[in-house]
């Protein structure tokens, strides 16, 4: 019998399962498809711990904590798996195209500097000098030198290897159907391949964490579709991650350019739309004509787990032994190591005695009622 069942093999479930196994726990990871094939590989891999954080507070602190952890987390995963994960501190330059955007970002720059974070303001001419692929009418650039990017697809491949090496039992193509609860205490999970018993279950089901049929556990998470396009271009065409109001571009070291993205409420539909792809390309063309030198490679869409509270949902529920690690929305790649560390700490420390640790301040505790939880799946 596993000590801990982690449901969902995205970056959050995998990072947590590996961390718990490293702490000596017997962990089973339950994934209905292949590991990491949903939002975690659809993502762009931008590690933005300040550029798109609109206000100071616990969420900023949590992002900063994740950013501090990233280099050593990646080094450890690279050492243990022998894989290269493409972590690069390229910085992000945000392009203000209108006066309103410039004012908004100047305000962000001021409060972030007061918090000791580095932000530079570049003139339009300085943007074109430092990022020659930008040739549109840019009013100002705001440069965040401490932001990074990671190859999230390579990271997911490494995480599953690391999970197995740490002793996690990885069950792919296994759908969790119902979480079993008796007298207010979790008992395990009914899956498509039978019943799994465990005193601790973690819901890390990404966009699927909050399905209505989860029943009494109110998990306010829903999918927010993001469409992405990939092109092949000359290496270092873009030197930084470049973002603007309606589009962004991230270039990997092999020349691949990832161009994104939409944020849409389209239910669990992952289809690409002409409107979505056109909107992204139009947003990009406003600041750069460089895609003319590139060839189209691929396009896809993924579902971000959007939490209606605006924060990740991370912590225990009122059902003893049942935890949540969901709702990371646009920051799940960045927040994975900090989420794993925090939640593994809570689980190991609480040891399922009532009145244990409180959830981390940058996150939200979701209360559930003490009864069976049925899950239905929108495939
Ligand atoms: C286009 C796009 C761009 C993004 N860019 C960035 C970025 O640059 N930086 C960043 O930090 N974040 C980014 N994100 C957000 C990030 O991808 C997510 O926050 C993160 O991947 C969420 O991870 P997760 O493990 O919670 O969810 P997922 O990766 O979706 O994993 C959930 C898993 O649960 C499984 N599952 C579902 N139901 C069941 C079931 N019943 N039984 C078993 N398994 C089940 C699914 O198959 C899936 O593998 C982006 C997202 C998108 C879509």
The pLDDT of residue 162 is 98
Residue pLDDT, tens place only, 57-96: 999 999 999 999 999 999 999 999 999 998 999 999 999 9
The pLDDT of residue 369 is 28
Average pLDDT of span 115-144: 97
The alpha carbon of 220 and the centre of ligand 1 are apart by a number of angstroms equal to 16
The pLDDT of residue 213 is 54
Handedness of CA 377, 366, 11, 112 (dihedral sign): positive
DSSP, res 207? G
For the CA of 228, the nearest atom of ligand 1: 1
**pLDDT above 60 for 375:** no
Transcribe 28-48 into DSSP letters: EEE-SSSTT-SHHHHS--EE-
Average pLDDT of span 153-166: 98
Residue pLDDT, tens place only, 259-312: 999 999 999 999 999 999 999 999 999 999 999 989 999 999 999 999 988 789
Residue pLDDT, tens place only, 329-370: 999 999 999 999 999 999 998 765 333 344 444 444 343 322
Which residues, judged by CB distance below 6 Å to any ligand atom, belong to the binding site of ligand 1?
A: 7-13, 30-33, 37-40, 42-46, 175-176, 204-208, 226, 228, 260-261, 302, 304-305, 326, 328-334, 375, 377
Domains and CATH numbers, the chain: 4-47+153-220+309-374 (3.50.50.60), 92-145+223-307 (3.30.9.10)
For the CA of 375, the nearest atom of ligand 1: 41
Q: How many whole angstroms from its chain centre is CA 217?
A: 22
Residue pLDDT, tens place only, 103-121: 999 999 999 999 999 999 9
Between 218 and 129, where is the model more confident? 129
In the chain, what percentage of residues exceed pLDDT 70?
A: 91
Residue 356 CB neighbour total at 10 angstroms: 12
The pLDDT of residue 285 is 96
DSSP, res 208? G
Measured at the CA of 335, the angle between CA 103 and CA 112, to 5 degrees, comes to 30
The alpha carbon of 18 and the centre of ligand 1 are apart by a number of angstroms equal to 17
Residue 18 near residue 166 (C-beta atoms within 8 A): yes
Query: Can you tell me whether residue 114 is helix, strand or coil?
Result: helix
The alpha carbon of 35 and the centre of ligand 1 are apart by a number of angstroms equal to 11
Average pLDDT of span 210-237: 85
- Residue 22 phi/psi, 5-degree rounding, is -65, -25
User: In whole angstroms, what is the distance from residue 338 CA to residue 331 CA?
Assistant: 11
Candidate from 6, 18, 39 with most ligand 1 atoms within 8 A of CB, to mutate: 39
Instruction: Report the relative pairing of strands 27-30 and 169-171 from DSSP bridges.
Output: parallel
Closest Cα to atom 3, ligand 1: which residue? 43
């Amino acid at each position: 019998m596993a000590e801990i069942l982690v449901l969902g093999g995205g970056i959050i479930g995998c990072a947590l399962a590996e961390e718990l196994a490293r702490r000596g726990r017997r962990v089973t990871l339950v994934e209905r498809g292949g590991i990491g094939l949903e939002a975690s590989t659809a993502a762009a891999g931008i590690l933005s711990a300040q550029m798109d954080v609109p206000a100071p507070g616990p969420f900023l602190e949590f992002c900063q904590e994740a950013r501090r952890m990233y280099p050593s987390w990646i080094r450890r995963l690279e050492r243990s798996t022998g894989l290269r994960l493409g972590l690069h501190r390229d910085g992000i330059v945000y392009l203000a195209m209108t006066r309103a955007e410039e004012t908004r970002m100047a305000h962000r720059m001021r409060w972030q500097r007061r918090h000791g974070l580095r932000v530079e303001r570049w003139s339009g001419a300085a943007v074109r000098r430092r990022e020659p692929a930008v040739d549109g009418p840019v009013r100002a650039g705001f440069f965040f030198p401490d932001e990074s990017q990671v190859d999230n697809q390579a990271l997911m491949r490494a995480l599953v290897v690391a999970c197995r090496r740490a002793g996690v039992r990885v069950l792919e193509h296994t759908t969790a159907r119902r979480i079993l609860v008796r007298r207010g205490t979790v008992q395990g999970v009914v899956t498509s391949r039978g019943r799994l018993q465990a005193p601790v279950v973690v819901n890390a089901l990404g966009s699927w964490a909050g399905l209505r049929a989860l029943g009494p556990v109110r998990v306010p998470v829903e999918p927010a579709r993001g469409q992405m396009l990939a092109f092949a271009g000359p290496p270092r065409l873009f030197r930084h991650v470049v973002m603007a109001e309606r589009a962004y571009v991230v270039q990997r070291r092999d020349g691949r350019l990832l161009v994104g993205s939409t944020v849409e409420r389209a239910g669990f539909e992952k289809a690409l739309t002409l409107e979505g792809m056109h909107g992204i390309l139009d947003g990009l063309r406003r600041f750069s004509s460089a895609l003319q030198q590139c060839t189209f490679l691929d396009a896809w869409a993924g579902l971000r787990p959007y939490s209606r509270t605006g924060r990740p949902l991370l912590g225990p529920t009122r059902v003893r032994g049942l935890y949540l690690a969901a709702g990371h929305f646009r920051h799940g790649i960045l927040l994975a190591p900090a989420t794993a560390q925090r939640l593994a700490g809570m689980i190991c420390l609480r040891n399922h005695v009532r009145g244990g640790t409180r959830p981390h301040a940058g996150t939200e505790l979701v209360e559930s009622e003490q009864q069976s939880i049925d899950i239905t799946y929108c495939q």
